[in-house]
Chain A
Amino acid sequence: MGTANQKEFINRIKMALGKPFAESRQKADLFNSEMSAESRAILEHIKNRNAAERKKLLETLIEAAGPINLQVISCDDISAVTGAIAGLVRAKDPEWGDQKSVVAWAHPLVERLNLPAALSEQKVPMFVTGSKSTADEDLRQQVIDAYIGITSADFCMADTATLVMRARPGQARSVSLVPAIHIAVIKLDQIIADLKELFALLKWDPHERREGLTNCLTFVSGPSKTADIEATMVHGAHGPREVHLFVISA
């Protein structure tokens, strides 16, 4: 039934626009199939970013993170991150029930943290949303039960302190959403300036465009919030109450 509907629907629009006009238009005007000079310049700029510029972006990110209560922690090496996460796991209480468990993406950077070992002394189990060997239903329950979710991200936009995550096998969308605390770990060179850079990368960078936006591209800028009751700002409406972002410089 879809296509007949569609034809009738689109025809109504054509009629509304004035038919001769509608038919004379060129599709090419609307969707730029060639990379513009501007996009090319943006990609060049990203590629040639030097260490000082990256540091500057980190500073911008930290500045933007403040007002939205995103905790940004810059670490020189990966072991420092592992230690800090173990500290968070120890310090924070679970929101629902009293069992502590952690859920994490199957992701190279997260694996390098070697968290299961670090958490074993606290006897806090860590589940990984990795292989399809675990049934989806069990995985779902592990995410629901966890009070901390650990992910990486594809990019982080400094301008607005926004994590950008694509949907991939092993990298469940719910890990950054359902647990009360979201911890993200990225490397310094994953920080980009803004939306303009992000969209240029996703649309035109030969490597990034292969994957494109995927079926779910998510931006996260700090913890969940609401001001629906007397305009009072409260964190943790439905999503995480806290978000901690670790940036590894080395």
Chain B
Amino acid sequence: MTKITTENYVAEARKAIKNQVLQRALADLQNRFGRGTAECYRQLPEGPDLRLKAHEIRMKTIENLDVVLETLAANILKNGGHVFFAKDSRAAVDYCLEVARRHQVRRVVKGKSMVSEEIDLNAALMDAGIEVSETDLGEYIIQLAGETPSHIIAPAIHKTRNDVGSLFAAKLDIPYEDDPPKLTWIARKALRQKFLAADMGTSGCNIACAETGHITTVSNEGNIRMSTTLPKVHMAFMGMERVAARLEDHDILLRLLCRGAAAQNMATYVSYIGGPRQADQVDGPQEFHLVILDNGRSRILADAEFREMLCCIRCAACLNVCPVYAKIGGHSYGYAYTGPVGAVVTPLLVGINRAKDLCLGETLCGACQEACAVNIDLPRMLLALRAKLAEGDPAWGVKPADRKEKLLWQAWSMMIRKRTVYDFVLRLAALVQKLMPQRDGMIRRLPPPVSGWTQGRDLRPLAKESFIQRWRKGF
């Protein structure tokens, strides 16, 4: 299991905010992709509302997931592939290791996949003495640096060209170079050797097609095609929800995926892979395995409030517009999934209490839903998660997060029921506020638990008289 560090949200966020390089990179990313994606949606012949249609398609699939997955599996078997249904990370990883052992795999090339991050495939393979090479350029940089990705689509945005130059010089034993085309070529050369030498290639799956029995892979670099074409074994990992029933569904979903992910009309490479090389074909892997992962997804499926989250196709469009992500970056989220999607899906996968800051640490601004390729109501689910944290929920094993806070809200609810009580509390507060240091009519410092406000801001004091009081006097 990947190290889960959701508890460090606040500390990591603070660190990220102070990192000027990261701040510039995040701003640039949002400027480019956030706005680009919105423009792409506007230019769709069907307009941005195509996302609503995509939502319907996704929901219908999710609500028939048992039938859809059985169809997918049957068709892949028919085409000579293998399908393994993995209940959890352990099962998925063990299956992969077992196949690797059978083929005496020594080197694996890895096409980017969120699920393999989720199950921490790299660590398991390396523990088994297998060399694992990330092949997406961003992921490769991250792997060389011994870090974790900070963005689903742009994993190395927190690195500058100088960082990459120094890293390559140190790890690849070459002279320092900081020109992006040259750095790209250096990685191209190094990874070409990895592709040619690998015994096994792994990939994720963007959206499988059940009726034809194919997984899809999408990339701009070509690393996933390399990983799934050259090695003798191809193993694909997919979250159990990443499937569509019909080929027709792929028209809408693929178009929205490419737009959401990188503001493109079409990624450079899209492959529909349905099995190993046939007897009369000259290349392609000799074995094809698909691992379908549950790992807590069936629990999400069972809860009507969160089922919608399984519509997600991991395009990361929500990251590119989220004003919180823009400040705190991916590492703060403490798990494979970052940004608004991470804020909802991570608590559901790793535990709501444990990831409480992910549920609470947003402003509910709604930009994520507007950007979502399949129009998932992420703010609604953030609110639902907060309700669980407030009251507790045995079904999800949630304990009330803060009993003192709950008492405060209880007191508040008594106060707002009666204007006379409300006015009395206002008068008290007006007295207390006289103790606060002020300048130019603004409060400069507040005491806990509201001291956070004045950490970087001033506060307008309470008015001498509320509007309602003035109205009563005949305004």
Our verdict on whether A and B bind, yes or no, reads yes
18 new A-B contacts at CB < 8 Å, known A5-B84, A25-B64, A225-B220: A6-B70, A10-B70, A10-B85, A13-B69, A31-B71, A129-B282, A139-B282, A140-B283, A172-B283, A199-B247, A220-B269, A227-B154, A229-B156, A229-B184, A230-B161, A231-B29, A236-B188, A237-B184
Residues of A within 8 A of B254 (CB): 195
Select the residue from A173, A224, A232, A238 with max chain B CB neighbours within 10 A: A238
Residues of A within 8 A of B277 (CB): 167, 215
Q: CA A217 – CA B217 in complex, angstroms?
A: 11
Given that A9-B294, A168-B281, A214-B274 are contacting pairs, would A231 and B68 also be in contact in the complex, using a CB cutoff of 8 Å?
no
Given that A27-B67, A238-B195 are contacting pairs, would A173 and B229 also be in contact in the complex, using a CB cutoff of 8 Å?
yes
Q: CA A126 – CA B322 in complex, angstroms?
A: 52
Query: Is A40 located at the chain interface by the 8 A CB criterion?
Result: no
Q: CA A78 – CA B255 in complex, angstroms?
A: 34
Residues of A within 8 A of B284 (CB): 167, 173, 215-216
**Other-chain contact of B269, A32, A143, A218 (Cβ < 8 Å):** A218
Q: When each residue 206-237 of chain A gets 1 if its CB lies under 8 Å from chain B and 0 otherwise, what string results?
A: 00000011111111111111111111101011
Residues of B within 8 A of A129 (CB): 282-283
Interface locus among A14-22, A43-51, A116-124, A184-192: A14-22
Taking residues whose C-beta sits less than 8 angstroms from the other chain, chain A's interface range is 35 or more
Q: Residue of B at shortest CB range from A22?
A: B66
Q: Contact: A30 with B230, CB < 8 Å?
A: no
Query: Is B406 located at the chain interface by the 8 A CB criterion?
Result: no
Q: When each residue 139-183 of chain A gets 1 if its CB lies under 8 Å from chain B and 0 otherwise, what string results?
A: 110011000000000000101111000011110111001100000
Q: CA A230 – CA B181 in complex, angstroms?
A: 11
Q: CA A220 – CA B67 in complex, angstroms?
A: 32
| Nearest chain B CB to A244 CB, angstrom units | 15
Query: Is A113 located at the chain interface by the 8 A CB criterion?
Result: no
Q: Contact: A221 with B268, CB < 8 Å?
A: yes
Interface locus among B135-143, B330-338, B387-395, B466-474: B135-143
Q: CA A170 – CA B276 in complex, angstroms?
A: 16
Q: When each residue 86-126 of chain B gets 1 if its CB lies under 8 Å from chain A and 0 otherwise, what string results?
A: 11000100000000000000000000000000000000000
Q: Contact: B246 with A30, CB < 8 Å?
A: yes
Query: Is A97 located at the chain interface by the 8 A CB criterion?
Result: no
Given that A213-B272, A217-B271 are contacting pairs, would A229 and B278 also be in contact in the complex, using a CB cutoff of 8 Å?
no
Q: Contact: A173 with B283, CB < 8 Å?
A: yes
Query: Is B348 located at the chain interface by the 8 A CB criterion?
Result: no
Query: Is A202 located at the chain interface by the 8 A CB criterion?
Result: yes
The 5 A-B pairs with the shortest beta carbon distances in the complex, nearest first, are A239-B222, A237-B221, A16-B302, A160-B266, A228-B138
Residues of B within 8 A of A22 (CB): 66
Q: Contact: B283 with A30, CB < 8 Å?
A: no
Q: Contact: A10 with B69, CB < 8 Å?
A: yes
Residues of A within 8 A of B292 (CB): 9
| Nearest chain A CB to B220 CB, angstrom units | 5
| Nearest chain A CB to B266 CB, angstrom units | 4
Q: 18 pairs across A/B with beta carbons < 8 Å? A: A12-B298, A13-B66, A13-B298, A17-B66, A30-B245, A132-B282, A143-B283, A144-B196, A173-B225, A199-B251, A215-B284, A216-B273, A219-B266, A226-B221, A229-B183, A230-B161, A237-B223, A239-B269
Residues of A within 8 A of B185 (CB): 236
Q: Contact: A226 with B184, CB < 8 Å?
A: yes
Taking residues whose C-beta sits less than 8 angstroms from the other chain, chain B's interface range is 35 or more
User: A-side binding surface: helix, strand, loop or mixed?
Assistant: mixed
Q: When each residue 360-389 of chain B gets 1 if its CB lies under 8 Å from chain A and 0 otherwise, what string results?
A: 000000000000000000000000000000
Query: Is A68 located at the chain interface by the 8 A CB criterion?
Result: yes
Q: Contact: B85 with A215, CB < 8 Å?
A: no
Residues of A within 8 A of B212 (CB): 212-213
Residues of B within 8 A of A212 (CB): 212
Residues of A within 8 A of B137 (CB): 226, 228-229, 237
Given that A27-B67, A239-B225 are contacting pairs, would A160 and B250 also be in contact in the complex, using a CB cutoff of 8 Å?
no
Q: Contact: B272 with A238, CB < 8 Å?
A: no
Query: Is B79 located at the chain interface by the 8 A CB criterion?
Result: yes
Residues of A within 8 A of B (CB): 2, 5-6, 8-10, 12-17, 22, 25, 27, 29-32, 39, 64, 68, 96, 129, 132, 136, 139-140, 143-144, 157, 159-162, 167-170, 172-174, 177-178, 194-196, 199, 202-203, 212-232, 234, 236-240
Q: When each residue 10-33 of chain B gets 1 if its CB lies under 8 Å from chain A and 0 otherwise, what string results?
A: 000000000000000100110010
Query: Is B341 located at the chain interface by the 8 A CB criterion?
Result: no
**Other-chain contact of A30, B60, B188, B274 (Cβ < 8 Å):** B60
Q: Residue of A at shortest CB range from B154?
A: A228
Query: Is B207 located at the chain interface by the 8 A CB criterion?
Result: no
| Nearest chain B CB to A234 CB, angstrom units | 4
Q: CA A32 – CA B79 in complex, angstroms?
A: 21
Q: CA A15 – CA B240 in complex, angstroms?
A: 15
Q: Contact: A5 with B222, CB < 8 Å?
A: no
Q: CA A39 – CA B273 in complex, angstroms?
A: 24
Q: Contact: B271 with A238, CB < 8 Å?
A: no
Query: Is B8 located at the chain interface by the 8 A CB criterion?
Result: no
Q: Contact: B63 with A17, CB < 8 Å?
A: yes
Q: Residue of B at shortest CB range from A212?
A: B212
**Other-chain contact of A203, B66, B70, B247 (Cβ < 8 Å):** B247
Q: When each residue 254-290 of chain B gets 1 if its CB lies under 8 Å from chain A and 0 otherwise, what string results?
A: 1100000000011111111111111011111000100
Q: CA A30 – CA B138 in complex, angstroms?
A: 38
Query: Is B433 located at the chain interface by the 8 A CB criterion?
Result: no
| Nearest chain A CB to B327 CB, angstrom units | 18
| Nearest chain B CB to A34 CB, angstrom units | 12
Given that A218-B271, A237-B220 are contacting pairs, would A174 and B230 also be in contact in the complex, using a CB cutoff of 8 Å?
yes
| Nearest chain A CB to B126 CB, angstrom units | 22
Q: Residue of B at shortest CB range from A220?
A: B269
Query: Is B460 located at the chain interface by the 8 A CB criterion?
Result: no
